[in-house]
Amino acid sequence: MWIDDQVIRHCDKPLHIETFIPSGQSVVLGRSNKAELEVHEDRCAEDNIPVLKRYGGGGTVLLHPGCVVASVGCWVESPYNNDLYFKLLNQSLIDCFIEHFKGYEFLQRGFSDIVYEDRKFVGTSLFRSRQYLLYQASILVDLNIETINRYLQHPSKEPDYRKGRHHRDFLVGLQELDSRFSAEVCHRILEGELESYVKSHLGAELTSPLESHIPHLLKRANI
């Protein structure tokens, strides 16, 4: 998928980060997701909404102009330890926002979600190829729940803390917590702060590119 590929093309660097606000709407499936189980395919087709699949796992998300996407491509010491890397990278995101949302506590729940109380506002995924790691986060700012309900079915798999709740009761946008925060404002926060937090949290886990593996990654991304 192009979102994956635009980060992987920089895999000759120890660390590369990209953040953006989607210009339109698209549905993105996790690596093992099946569209017929996760998506209202007829509605997507009717409205010309593309249904894409990323390299990483995780659940299905709707990208739209009310969210921000953050991608981190880096080389790390271990080809394993995914739980650790999820924790460190999620904490990097949390630290970006915590100073700007005074009085709110953001936590990690489920396998890799970031939540306020028991409502999710960040979904994340991880793609691994030996010591290369591609982490992606979809951050809800303006929830746009009607659109999410239109295109996404209730997920075929859900974390325990969701407890069967509908999208409307399970998800929250950052703008609902503080109306001053638009997607543009959150994007600027990430642009200015995410890299320093990633470097701080990953620390000694960051390593140099594995030169012999770079051609394999570029080939995967059709580069």
Amino acid at 184: E
Q: What is the pLDDT of residues 77-124, one digit of tens each?
A: 999 999 999 999 999 999 999 989 888 999 999 989 999 999 999 999
Q: What is the pLDDT of residues 20-48, one digit of tens each?
A: 999 999 999 999 999 999 999 999 999 99
CA–CA dist 212, 138 (Å, integer)? 31
The structure's pTM equals: 0.96
CA–CA dist 145, 47 (Å, integer)? 17
Q: Across-strand partners of 134? A: 73, 127
**What are the structural domains of the chain?**
2-216 (3.30.930.10)
> What was the pLDDT predicted at 16?
98
